[in-house]
């Protein structure tokens, strides 16, 4: 990958992290120590499910979270490998 593309990739990851509600989602996930669903986050943050779904997608596309489907629910968890690579020690500060 050339250096311009690398800059774009890095900027894209930061863009995902540049939204307070997405930081909150990561913090909640990190401290929960377990997977959480869209609905659970929606209640905790008091924002609509559609907005939470939108943020979930952004986090997932950036590779910052993992998703596990179980029945009709979708469980979100943090992808530690991605954080270790791009932002070591970031999660611990949340």
23 binds, among DNA, a copy of itself, none (CB under 5 to 8 A by kind): a copy of itself
Please report whether residue 50 would count as binding DNA according to CB under 7 A.
yes
Q: How far, in Å, CA of 16 to CA of 69, rounded?
A: 22
Q: Locate 25 and state its tokens.
A: 């989602």
Residue 72 binds DNA (CB under 7 A): yes
How many residues interact with DNA (rule CB under 7 A)?
A: 26
Picked from DNA, a copy of itself, none, the partner binding residue 82 (CB below 5 to 8 A depending on kind) is none
Q: Is 55 in the site for DNA (CB under 7 A)?
A: yes
Euclidean distance between CA atoms 71 and 1, whole angstroms: 39
Q: Let me know the angle formed at the C-alpha of 47 by 13 and 17, rounded to the nearest 5 degrees.
A: 10
Cα–Cα dist 47/30, whole Å: 19
Q: Select 22 or 38, whichever has its Cβ closest to a copy of itself.
A: 22
- Tell me if 51 contacts DNA by CB under 7 A: yes
């Amino acid at each position: 990958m050339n250096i311009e593309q690398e800059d774009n990739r890095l900027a894209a990851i930061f863009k995902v992290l540049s939204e307070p509600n997405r930081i909150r989602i990561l913090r909640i996930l990190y401290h929960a120590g377990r997977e959480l669903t869209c609905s659970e986050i929606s209640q905790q943050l008091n924002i609509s499910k559609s907005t939470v779904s939108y943020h979930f997608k952004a986090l997932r596309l950036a590779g910052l979270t993992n998703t596990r489907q179980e029945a009709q629910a979708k469980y979100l968890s943090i992808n530690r490998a991605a954080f270790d690579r791009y932002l070591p020690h970031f999660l611990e500060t949340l």
